[in-house]
Amino acid sequence: MLVLTRKVTIIFLLTVLMVCLNYYPVNGQIIPLALIEKAEQILYGQSSELPIKERIEQLEFTLYNSYGTESLQERAEQIIHYVLGSDVHPSLIFLFNTLEWTLTNRSSQGNLSYRLAELEKIVFGMVQKGALVARIKQLEELSLPAGQVKQQEVNLTEDIEIAVTLLEEIDSARIKAGELINYRVEESIKIDNILVIPAGTTGQLVISKVEQAGRFGRDGRVAFALSELVAIDGSLVPVKLINNADNSYSQEIAIGLSVLGTVIISHPVGLLAGLLYNGQEAVIPANSSFRLVTTRSVKIKGLAL
């Protein structure tokens, strides 16, 4: 009985600890700290270490150029609703991706404060001043039909192919495991005329293993881990590399991409002759084309066209 009581106590304390890690009590109220951190990361690129009251005030001033008078919980919920969105109100990530796709036919990455400034330069020729909410509303009214976006939830299934282009070179002689390689989506992905991944969206491949070329004709190899691509609403879409139909990156060496995501360089000479030479490094030039494929279904709030 004593042992059972101790187990129940431990479970209770662990539950309380998990709740405290994600919620911050203020005057008996509960503030969803994890969602505040997410809003900070979206707007600024990182979360703050300031006291919760100062963090809420900082977010309010960025968004509204003023401070609320309600309770901290109510003010936090207002920020979360605007930044993260709801079933009827699109998130800021969805809105920004839509604005960028409408104005520039691409979708970029980075914190929204920076992205807003870049869009304003394109539209107005200079960065605007004032509350972020008002600046965004101005861009909406100028850029979108009826000044608003229409979102609709769809199911992006597995095995959807996505054409991408590498934005930087891969070289097994220089690259290391854990490094990130940038790529760009070349064609928009739509489901029943609902845009889910705009052309121009950028992502990153993760290098999971590198083998440099060596003696006895051993060629270089580069392996890629499963990665995720950000959809128009900010959802993470799991993807992997698949076979490339065009294996003619070079007239001297053949490059093949296996379904497991390993790039292999084949030596141009025969096996016996190859033993006398060092192998070839795995080199894939920037602007090379590949294809990704989704690995599982994801529900996404897409843009109704």
Taking only the tens of pLDDT, the chain with its 305 residues reads 444 455 545 444 444 444 444 444 544 457 788 899 999 998 998 988 899 999 999 999 999 999 989 988 899 999 999 998 877 778 888 888 888 888 888 777 778 888 899 999 999 999 999 899 999 889 888 887 776 778 889 999 999 999 999 898 888 888 888 888 899 999 999 999 999 999 888 888 888 888 777 665 567 777 778 788 989 988 899 998 875 544 433 322 333 344 344 554 444 444 444 445 566 777 788 888 888 899 999 999 998 87
Q: CATH topology for 154-304?
A: Lipocalin (2.40.128)
Task: Give CATH 2.40.128 domain extents, the chain.
Answer: 154-304
Bridge partners, 237 (sequence order)? 229
Distance CA 15, CA 10 (A): 9
Tokens read off for 187: 């064609």
pTM: 0.71
CB atoms within 10 A of CB 264: 16
pLDDT of residue 265: 45
Tokens read off for 94: 């969805």
Give me the half-sphere count of Cα atoms (radius 13 Å) on the Cβ side of residue 10.
6
CA distances from 303 to 99, 102, 118, 191 (A): 11, 11, 22, 10
Element (H, E) at 228: strand 227-230
Q: What is residue 260's DSSP assignment?
A: T
Return the sign of the alpha-carbon dihedral for residues 181, 186, 189, 193: positive
CA distances from 282 to 91, 118, 171, 186, 262 (A): 41, 37, 6, 24, 10
Distance CA 217, CA 230 (A): 40
